Structure 1
Amino acid sequence: MELRQLKTFATTAQFLNFTKAAHHLGYAQSTVTSQIQGLESELGTMLFERLGKQIKLTKDGENLAIYATQILKLAAEAKDVISSSLTPKGTLTIGTAESLCTYRLPDVFKAFRSQYPNVELNIRFDICNDYRTHLRKNTVDIVFFLDVPCNEADLITHILNDEPMAVIAAPNHPLSQKQFIMPADLSGQALILTETGCSYRRLFESILTQAGVKPSSVLGVSSNEVIKKFVSDGWGIGFLPHITISNELAGGQLAALPWGGPPFVIKAQLIYHKEKWLSPALRAFIDIAVKTLQHAAI
């Protein structure tokens, strides 16, 4: 197997489309097809199922995709190590939550790109439960996420700042008229929360469960913007980082309920694997991120 074949395979596995993969790589589509066929011939298996114009990974293809990603990352690291130049370059893959990427990280990206324009940044969104797995498989270089403080022996954690949370409702919701809200007030209420596996949804549901609260329904939504829209339309009660709703609070589309229950100890954190090789690019990115975010205010 050649690295160029693995890169072509990994790109095709990402797009699940030969034409898009060819365009991304700057190849003719016939070149992509030829390299994939050569790889399949060498391995003696089919890597993609072809159903008309649609393709999908076979089981062997899914397995190879995991290894291909790691091999390509290791090859890039080896190239950086051997290079005599200490100038940050190459590619960084960053895992992050939507809320942090939208409201906290733009200043980090801007500062980093202005200093190191030759470093390519790839941003990956996943649910919170997957972040540690990706770090341990070396499929991402670094992760930004919201959670209670991470304290795992194989991970390096930088606590960046407290991330205030808000229980939200439509301004005309009956609960918005109360002086303070306790968990019991949410019994029988419809909840509109982030997807299952999200750290702060898990914390919020844990608080309600300990208080014996049973909502009438729970709707899981993967988009903060959709959650805000549904809550403002009166569909139910939401729970989001305060920074994501500041504009809607100021504009009167949402109301932050005066929470009187247990505190939400959620921290914005930067984590990476303790055995991760810190390339010049990754080290520079960590330094800029910590300096920019550590004491960030709403």
Structure 2
Amino acid sequence: MNIHNLEAFVYVVHFGSFNKAAKALFLSQPSISARIRSLESELNTILLKREGRKSSLTEDGQNFFPHAEKIIKQYQEALYKLNQQLYIPDQIRIGCANSVSSYLVPEILPQLRRKFPTLNVKIMSNHSEEVFSKVLNNEVDLGIIREITHPKIKSNIILDSHVGLYASPDHPIIKRNERISIEELTNHQIIFYDHNSPDWIFVSRLLEPVKLQKKIVVVIDNMEAAKRLVKKNLGICFLPEHAVQDELTKGTLAQVLLQLNIEVSTRISLIHLAEKEPSPIIDFIKTLFL
């Protein structure tokens, strides 16, 4: 028995009209009529009496309608549960760059849990390259990392964070309370947070003419450690602004104002395998950054 024919029958009875049923199902009225005729032919009986624009049930139609309505409800419930299983898993595995797990994940997770209260979330932190590899190998469902492109990966930029220069509030460069030239930075020790990305390589090259590399006392790939060294007044450091918002608010870090406007940013992307079916979880995370 064709489920679409049953659906047309139930809708016609519910609305009392072929025309209204057609509109509700986004079909033409002839299509609804054809489905009803097909159902009546299959059952070898007349289910509906047509009276102008209105219709009413025959005796056989009255007897058959409760069963048809039950079948349609069971079908819709089964379809809903199937879609839930297909698109909203019990667990989501998220791979994050270390900086992302520290700063963005605490912002994402509360909203994700409110939207999908039964969802279990597994977070795995590593360098962007390692997370990227895990996404490719389907070891995680999605990754939130610095911008990387690959033909097998679908990528959406969710954050474009400006890179600035930061120091301890007690540092002499902050106490001057004026814009600093790049050349003047050679008078201060530098902590270089090595982000291993084209944008950060650009920062390094920008500083080459003034031989700033000679003033680098620490090269470090951990952002939290870099910030702690800056707080201890060991040096000044270029960092993405999304990573220092709490410190700026609390007054434990301060931005160094430069005469040269450095247009460098860190782009954070949400990535997943291009061949995977669309997921409402991934779509929801994207909306948090629109």
- For the criterion TM > 0.5, the same-fold answer is yes
What is the CA–CA distance in structure 1 between the aligned matches of 2:269 and 2:129, rounded to whole Å? 14
The residue that corresponds to 1:184 in the other structure is 183
For residue 203 of structure 1, report the CA deviation from its aligned partner. Answer: 4.3
Aligned equivalent of 1:284, options 280, 284, 287: 280
CA offsets 1:31-90 (integer angstroms, 9 cap, x no match)? xxxxxxxxxxxxxxxxxxxxxxxxxxxxxxxxxxxxxxxxxxxxxxxxxxxx94534123
The residue that corresponds to 1:101 in the other structure is 101
The residue that corresponds to 1:140 in the other structure is 140
Residues 218 and 272 (structure 1 numbering): CA distance in 2 closer, same or farther, change over 3 Å?
A: farther
- The alignment of Structure 1 onto Structure 2 pairs a total of residues equal to 206
The question of whether the paired residues in 2 share the 8 Å contact of 1:93 and 1:141 is answered with: yes
Letter in 1 for 2:214: P
The residue that corresponds to 1:114 in the other structure is 114
The residue that corresponds to 1:127 in the other structure is 127
For residue 160 of structure 1, report the CA deviation from its aligned partner. Answer: 1.6
Residues 128 and 89 (structure 1 numbering): CA distance in 2 closer, same or farther, change over 3 Å?
A: closer
Residues 255 and 155 (structure 1 numbering): CA distance in 2 closer, same or farther, change over 3 Å?
A: same
185-194 or 118-127, larger mean C-alpha shift: 185-194
What is the CA–CA distance in structure 1 between the aligned matches of 2:240 and 2:92, rounded to whole Å? 26
RMSD between aligned residues: 2.9
What is the CA–CA distance in structure 1 between the aligned matches of 2:202 and 2:118, rounded to whole Å? 40
What is the CA–CA distance in structure 2 between the aligned matches of 1:122 and 1:287, rounded to whole Å? 18
For residue 242 of structure 1, report the CA deviation from its aligned partner. Answer: 1.6
The residue that corresponds to 2:32 in the other structure is none
For residue 108 of structure 1, report the CA deviation from its aligned partner. Answer: 2.4
CA offsets 1:144-186 (integer angstroms, 9 cap, x no match)? 1234xx4433321112232122211122323322633344333
The question of whether the paired residues in 2 share the 8 Å contact of 1:129 and 1:197 is answered with: no
Q: Percent identity, aligned pairs only?
A: 20
Structure 2's unaligned 5+ residue stretches are 1-80
Letter in 1 for 2:127: I
The residue that corresponds to 2:4 in the other structure is none
SS of 1:86's equivalent in the other structure is helix
CA offsets 1:103-146 (integer angstroms, 9 cap, x no match)? 33334222222232333211111112323222222222211123
What is the CA–CA distance in structure 2 between the aligned matches of 1:120 and 1:168, rounded to whole Å? 37
What is the CA–CA distance in structure 2 between the aligned matches of 1:102 and 1:109, rounded to whole Å? 12
The residue that corresponds to 2:214 in the other structure is 215
What is the CA–CA distance in structure 1 between the aligned matches of 2:108 and 2:219, rounded to whole Å? 30
The question of whether the paired residues in 2 share the 8 Å contact of 1:160 and 1:293 is answered with: yes
For residue 266 of structure 1, report the CA deviation from its aligned partner. Answer: 2.2
The question of whether the paired residues in 2 share the 8 Å contact of 1:183 and 1:207 is answered with: no
Residues 117 and 222 (structure 1 numbering): CA distance in 2 closer, same or farther, change over 3 Å?
A: farther
SS of 1:278's equivalent in the other structure is coil
The question of whether the paired residues in 1 share the 8 Å contact of 2:125 and 2:131 is answered with: no
SS of 2:213's equivalent in the other structure is coil
Rg (Cα) greater in structure: 2
For residue 234 of structure 1, report the CA deviation from its aligned partner. Answer: 1.1
Aligned equivalent of 2:163, options 159, 165, 170: 165
What is the CA–CA distance in structure 2 between the aligned matches of 1:107 and 1:262, rounded to whole Å? 28
Residues 186 and 131 (structure 1 numbering): CA distance in 2 closer, same or farther, change over 3 Å?
A: farther
